[in-house]
Each structure stands twice: as C-alpha cells, then as structure tokens.
Amino acid sequence: MPQITPKILAFDVFGTVVDWHGSISAEVQRLYPQVDGDALALAWREGYQPAMQRVRSGELGWTKIDELHRLILDSILPRFGLGELPEHERRALNRVWHRLNPWPDVVEGLSLLKRRHVITTLSNGNIGLLTDMAKHGGLPWDCVLSAEVFRAYKPDPRVYLGVAEVFDVAPHEVMLVAAHHDDLAASRACGLLTAYIERPLEFGATRPKDVSPVAENTLHARDFIDLARQLASRGAPADEDAGG
C-alpha cells in the first residue's frame, strides 16, 4: 500500500506548539514571587479536562476556554494565597494563555511544513486566544481552527471530522499533529493520520513525560523540524504530483 501524504496538517496547540507550563510558571513567578509558579501552572492545567467535561456533559452550556480558564483560576487562587487578588489582576493573569511561548523548533518547523501543506490549529482554545497566541509567537498558520467553530471539545469526533469538512478533503488527507496520545487515538478513530511530537518537558523539568513511540501513529517525530523532514521524504500530496 502506498504511503499517504496529508494535504492538511492540523495541530494541537497547548503542549504541542507552545510551552504552557514554562510560560505560566515564569509569569506567575515574576508577578507574585511568593507563589510557587510551577505548582500553580500545574494546578491550573489539572482543572482543564474537568472543566471541559462540564460542557461535554451538558452541565454547562457552550463555554469558551477563556471562560473555563477563569473559572479554574478563581477556584485555585486561595490555595496559593491569592484569594484576595483584585478583578483587574485576575483578568490580566487569565490572559497569560494568550501569550504562551512556542517551543524553540516551532516557528522554523511550521515555516518548513507550510511550504508543502496547509497548516492549521485544531485546539480546544478559542479563536481569539489562538489568534493572539499566533501574533505573540510569530506562528505562521494558514488557518486558525478551534473547537469553538464546531461547538464541541476534543475528543468529540465533530472536531476532527470538521477539519476535513472545512477543507473539503477526506479524513485520511488530514494529519493531526500532537504531543498527546489520547488526542491522536481519538483522531485516528475518525480516519485521520497521526504524528506524535516529543515534548518531554511539557509539565516541567521535574515531571518529564514518557515520549516512547506508539506503533499506531503514522509518524513519530522529535520536533516540528524532524516532522518536516519525514513528511518531505514521503513526497508531495496527491493533488500536487502533476504540478500546475
């Protein structure tokens, strides 16, 4: 069976494209030096899936990630001695998610991948957040797609299949690029190709991740530059073979 080269590369963002832990930890440490920035960043992120589950279950109506992040933040601040933080500081801190820094390989890697593929986000982050993040980090997306477009959070199949619908391609012409095996497995069940990216320091240097390969993924790459090299070796997407 010939290798299939994707036309569309859809990228998970938090942890895959940007270093949420390092960015949040550093900002908290700068603003509130008495607070353990590492612990606050981890606690904030730990509330992410439970908050989305409240939307998935119907307990909450559709709620953007910005609003869920704020709900989580308000719930954890007392734990870190910041329960009296004024409203304007809470709003400003919540927007740290809009200015997360990309991993060192990302801008170069995306620029290489963009030459031969359409590159788009596919994140649970909302559109405004993802757009601000792209401006902050110089991320050269062709398109910004969010769960907000589909009114469903990953791993809902509507999100993965929605990419194929947006670009009018078959699911197997889309590759999800992510640093999370559960995200990749859910997209694979919808017929997408998958590429795992190693981000061993996603949760910080004290909590390194196991980045061992999983055989079911189409590709396993060290970083985005390595992914570009591997995809280049597979040849051009089918519609580009004849030129024109």
Q: What's the rounded mean pLDDT across residues 137-157? A: 97
55-83 per-position pLDDT tens digit: 999 999 999 999 999 999 999 999 999 99
- The fraction of the chain above a pLDDT of 70, given in percent, is 95
- The fraction of the chain above a pLDDT of 90, given in percent, is 93
> What pLDDT does residue 241 have?
45
Q: Where are the beta strands (DSSP E) in 113-192?
A: 118-123, 143-146, 174-178
Look at residue 208 and give its three-state secondary structure: coil
User: Does pLDDT of 19 surpass 50?
Assistant: yes
> What pLDDT does residue 5 have?
86
Helical packing angle, 127-137 and 65-76, nearest 10°: 80
> What pLDDT does residue 183 have?
98
Q: What's the rounded mean pLDDT across residues 191-218? A: 97
What would the two tokens of residue 203 be?
Answer: 């949760």
> What pLDDT does residue 50 have?
94
> What pLDDT does residue 234 have?
83
Q: What's the rounded mean pLDDT across residues 197-214? A: 96
User: Does pLDDT of 244 surpass 90?
Assistant: no
Give the confidence band of 238 by pLDDT, cuts at 50, 70, 90: low
Give the confidence band of 203 by pLDDT, cuts at 50, 70, 90: very high
Long-range contacts of 168-175 (CB under 8 A, 24+ apart): 169/7, 169/8, 172/4, 173/4, 173/6, 173/7, 173/8, 173/237, 173/238, 174/6, 174/7, 174/8, 174/9, 174/10, 175/6, 175/8, 175/9, 175/10, 175/218, 175/219
User: Does pLDDT of 2 surpass 70?
Assistant: no
pTM: 0.94
Listed in sequence order, the residues at least 6 apart from 211 whose beta carbon sits closer than 8 Å to its beta carbon are: 179, 196, 198, 199, 200
> What pLDDT does residue 240 have?
53
> What pLDDT does residue 242 have?
35
Give the confidence band of 1 by pLDDT, cuts at 50, 70, 90: very low
Cα(129)–Cα(40) distance, integer angstroms:
20
Average pLDDT, the chain: 94
Beta bridge partners of 195: 177, 219
> What pLDDT does residue 33 have?
97
